[in-house]
Amino acid sequence: MRWILALLLGLLAACAHAKDTPPPLPPAEKRIALSFDDVPRAPGAFLTEEERTELLIANLAEAGVEQAAFFVNPGRIDGPDDTRRIAAYVAAGHVIANHSANHPRLSQTGLTEYLADIDAGEERLRDRDGYRPWFRYPYLDEGQQDAAKRDAVRAALAKRGLVNGYATVDASDWFYEGAAKRAVAQGKAIDREALRKLYVEAHVDAAEFYDTLARKAIGRSPAHVLLLHETDLAALWIGDLVRALEAKGWTIVSADEAYADPFAQRARTYDTPSAQGTLTEMVAWDKGLPAPRWYRGNNTDLAQQWFDTRVLGEARETDD
């Protein structure tokens, strides 16, 4: 009988311990939408504009991306070819939104002029198929240190029925496109496989960094929005990037789903000493989290070093 009593006591102790110890948490869900700025963009390093659009649409489809967001600068639409390319994105299932007519920087533009530029963009976009009432600040500049201007634009967007088309993940893809264009113009040999790997790795690393930062700031992983540009690099390697993200546990979601996340509410309420950057960075700043609050690859000196050594094979001097 003693062994039965001992067994019962052991079971009771185990049950009590189990009650005090919470079950292990399931793996956190990581979701991310794709967005492309500066549409229509000038020719890049490798493709014509038409080739770029066709390849980007094809590679998004092959990667299973049903809906990405294309943020348009209507003031840069130069003729029917640009119009057709934008329509092709929509016909493929993607959506378009306002990135201002002419891409001004809020911190360097008067409020009246800035709002007029938003309105000019809306006038040319709001009746188009695939339109969404999202506004993305050029340069992600929401006024920098000018809180009064920041709040005035927030109020003006709300009055117009527009919401902040923020990004939560940024790896400065525009920089690599520019570096490639400069290298081609200078007649330098580009290791395109090395550039592909750098492009993919930088964006996956940035996604992981900003997701960790978001968890620290709000206690969960929001539906993220990845900031990209309509570049040749995106057209060539978006499929590789999607597959690399999925290999790290990310699920690609629509822009509609991402902007329906409650995290979007924070775009109207955060308060930081300088309003510029990803929403993740600014909320982390608002929460008082210590630096770093932005991905290290957004330091263009470091990105240039990566490009020079990995893509061009150039030796770099290092500080002792």
Number of domains into which the chain is organized: 1
CB neighbours (10 Å) of residue 300?
14
Strands 275-276 and 141-144: antiparallel
Mean pLDDT of all residues in 101-124 = 98
The answer to whether residue 61 sits within a structural domain is: yes
pTM, full prediction: 0.90
CA-to-CA separations, 39 to 19, 99, 145, in angstroms, rounded: 56, 9, 28
Q: What's the pLDDT tens digit per position in 277-320? A: 999 999 999 999 999 999 999 999 999 999 999 999 997 644 43
* H or E element, residue 37: strand 30-39
pLDDT for the residue numbered 315:
76
The answer to whether residue 134 sits within a structural domain is: yes
CA-to-CA separations, 168 to 103, 132, 227, in angstroms, rounded: 20, 18, 8
Q: How far is 201 from 4, CA to CA, in rounded Å?
A: 59
- Over 80: is that where the pLDDT of 232 sits? yes
The answer to whether residue 22 sits within a structural domain is: no
The answer to whether residue 131 sits within a structural domain is: yes
Question: DSSP character for 219?
Answer: S
pLDDT for the residue numbered 28:
65
User: What CATH number should be reported for the domain holding residue 84?
Assistant: 3.20.20.370
Q: What's the pLDDT tens digit per position in 55-90? A: 999 999 999 999 999 999 999 999 999 999 999 999
The answer to whether residue 27 sits within a structural domain is: no
- Over 80: is that where the pLDDT of 23 sits? no
Q: How far is 266 from 161, CA to CA, in rounded Å?
A: 17
The answer to whether residue 29 sits within a structural domain is: no
- Over 50: is that where the pLDDT of 2 sits? no
292 preceded by cis ω (within 30°)? yes
The answer to whether residue 154 sits within a structural domain is: yes
By residue range, what is the domain housing residue 64?
36-311
Q: What's the pLDDT tens digit per position in 133-158? A: 999 999 999 999 999 999 999 999 99
